[in-house]
Structure 1
Amino acid sequence: DPHLAGSTGLSRYYDFGEGPPPEGIQDEAGYYHRVVVYYLAHPDAASNHLVELKQPNSDTVGFTFGLQLCENTQAGSKCDPLKSLALSRDFYKGDRSMRESGFDVSFRFGPFSADTHHYAPICLNSLLYKQEKDLEKMSLLLGKKAESDKWRKRAEDRKQRINQYLWDSQRGLFFDYNFENQSRSSYEFITTFYPLWAGLATPEQAKAVVQNLSIFEQPGGLAMSRHESEGQWDYPYGWAPTQLLAVKGLRRYGYNADADRVSYKFVSMIAENFRRDGTIREKYNVVTRSSETNVGAGYKANVVGFGWTNAAFLEFLHDLPRDQVERLDREQRQGTVAPASRRLSERTWPAAGGTPAPPSKKSQQSGFRAGD
């Protein structure tokens, strides 16, 4: 099975396509040129991803770039010979697999995550464990005990392998595992909270992960990592879906005070930015608590009206204690609210036919409320 991570018995991200994917060409202008320039300047990181085309080479697919390195000196510029360079098939396999993972782009699986397909990731295997446990329960409810036992055995086996390969007891974090060179990654990433959300972490493991919360926690919530790669899935950015899984994981193991604190940081940041520009975005800079982003590697836009941010906001708001919801409401009322960014509860939405509907009496009475 190509989706198996070597002999670990765990799963990996793996895309069956070849060469650059459509979004890498259409939406990320200059991305692969940037990758080649990076590898040219960091030859130790290039490994088998950068190919010099001295003659036709079957190991390449996609673009060809003519580049040279130059050094400016007092005597003038000194340049290496012009090289014809391309990215290897293995690079594009990793690039496509990174996009399959959804974490595009970070440096989590090496520069530009070009080695994604060489790793057993903690996120994917936690999700599969949760799915196997769900299928175990569903089969039992349907009276199919043999199938239930099969899914229970699969989940138990995956949990054992996660503990063997992906848990670092000294660091107190879950990491990804490179099965090609048989080494565990040391790249701190927010997916270390996935085992808590899935319920596969032991109480001792959960405690250790929570003790490392400060690695990720910022004024606006949890950062994806502590590594500033200029990719949108790294520091200093925070995303709603990973934020939600982390907070749900904290609550599952009884760390409600930590969950409340992180939740409040995230929702107050969203509300603050909404008050300023009337939009909700797909990602935020959780260090500066701003929707203004400066992504250098990969997809650079910060899309408006992204559904998962809206959904996570409501989930967090629902789970927060009443006093914190009331605090959030007070903060929004005290702000200077422009017409385009009124309190969420007072915004008007088009009725049938496109005519704005007047706010209801309920929406006129208050802003955020516990249980809304």
Structure 2
Amino acid sequence: MTEELRVRKYFLSLITILVLAASPLTLAEPSVDTASREQLSAIQKYIKQSWHTLTRSSAQLAKAAPDPKFTAMADGRWPVYVSRRESIKLIEQRLRAQMSAEDFATIEIRQLPNDPSEVREHGLLYLPHPYVVPGGRFNEMYGWDSYFTQVGLVRDNETVLAKNMVDNFLYQIDHYGKILNANRTYYLSRSQPPFLTQMILNVYRKQRNVSWLRATVPAIEKYYRFWIEEPHLTKQTGLSRYY
């Protein structure tokens, strides 16, 4: 289909929508049902349980490490990468204490190379705190999805988990250079729209921990520079890009 035909088809569709919207057809009013207290209680209970169903932690790395976009290594294990600022030995000790021996045997802890493009077998990036994934089929902590998730966590008084989400983002900035699209090695080249400061304030308004709030400032400043400096800032437009 040529570009001209695409444009023509688009405008025909738009005209059809406008005509239908302006037509005097009488449409039946949708019925509005009010949920009972029992129904609302059931929904709230389901949401409350789902926060923990959707939580991933170091203890669950055997579940989180596999990636359906790839196959496991030749020995059946999945790589989990650790920042060069971390000690592999210390991370391994920590994970062995949190995971069963059987689960730990399904992963391999690796040091992330200085140049992410040198990664040949992609894998999960280590994060120290539990986080909530945006849906049951996901195992990664996503960038701006996490903001909307955290709004719900704060609303449900899941403040510890809400703070864990922020602390993981602070860790990402400190150890991976930015808030990642998600914590997989193939996302190291790009970020997502910044909601960090709002997430920090969401936690602070609940806990009023001034020392913690003060400790977030270096990461905020570093991430601010990520967006306002080249190569992410494009001088021609004055806009920033995520890669």
Give the TM-score band, short-chain normalised: 0.3 to 0.5
**TM-score after normalising by structure 1:** 0.28
Q: Which has the higher contact order (CA 8 A, sep 6+)?
A: 2
In proportion to residue count, which structure has more helix?
Answer: 2
Q: TM-score, normalised by structure 2?
A: 0.40
